[in-house]
A and B are shown apart, each in its own frame.
Chain A
Amino acid sequence: IVMTQSPATLSVSPGERATLSCRASQSVGSNFAWYQQKPGQAPRLLIYDASIRATGIPARFSGSGSGTEFTLTISSLQSEDFAVYYCHQYNDWPRTFGHGTRVEI
């Protein structure tokens, strides 16, 4: 299953809303996650089952969608949110990730 993220880069000002998209080449139901990765760090799980925030993730992060179309929304960007975001399907093997959206200032 190919995961296609858009845009590749998103330029946003602090305090603004950011909307990231991911499309799956076939339905993955709600078996879908979002991760955040900062330079030199491991990925961090943000959202799983398409819309459930992982432990400790702030409420400004929200996920939506099912089937083939998914969205991650960051309601008001904080300085620590500038990072690369990856989408991921876990409906089928092999597990696959998108190529990432870089959120920059």
Chain B
Amino acid sequence: EVQLMESGGGLIQSGGSLRLSCVGSGFTFSSHAISWVRQGPGKWLEWLAYISGTGKTEHYEDSVRGRFTISRDNSKNTLYLQMNSLRVEDTAVYFCARSPYRDGWFGDYWGQGALVTVSS
């Protein structure tokens, strides 16, 4: 069974840093690209960052480029999101979502999400 599990969320002050992790199981981790997607309180889904299965290709949404960094350790079946210079508007549930492909992305399996709350 394909599973993704996020961790590392919590309460952080504006300007601080946080690193989210996403552990995958039930599939060959390196064969699948993965993205981070967030959802603010009562809001819609917002794609943030993508990394290919090999880790060689990354893409970012403009509002997080330069502040957030996506990475993966295929030996540990783990995806990361390093979030720096956090803002109140970054408050959201953060999901990791797998692509069915090594390159390119839409989310066929999603984790349950990690809540990040940024206070002023």
User: A: which residues have CB within 8 A of B?
Assistant: 31, 33, 35, 37, 41-45, 48, 54, 86, 88, 90, 93-100
Contact = CB atoms under 8 A, between A and B. Distances in A.
Nearest to B60: A94
Contacts of B107: 33, 35, 43, 45, 88
Interface in B24-40: 35
B44 A100 contact: yes
Given A90-B104, A93-B59, A42 B44 contact: no
A46 to B, nearest CB: 11
B47 A95 contact: yes
A43 B45 contact: yes
Contacts of A45: 106-109
Please provide the 3 A-B residue pairs with the shortest distance between their CB atoms, ordered closest to farther: A42-B110, A95-B47, A90-B106
Given A42-B111, A43-B95, A43-B110, A90 B44 contact: no
Nearest to A93: B59
Contacts of B112: 41-42
B95 A42 contact: yes
Task: Specify which of A88, A90, A94, A97 lies most central, judged by the most chain B CB atoms within 10 Å of its CB.
Answer: A94
A8 B67 CA distance: 32
Contacts of B45: 35, 37, 43, 86, 88, 97
B46 interface: yes
Interface residues of B, number: 22
A98 B95 CA distance: 17
Interface in B62-120: 62, 95, 97, 104-113
Given A42-B95, A90-B104, A97 B47 contact: yes
Contacts of B62: 94
Contacts of B106: 31, 33, 45, 48, 88, 90, 95
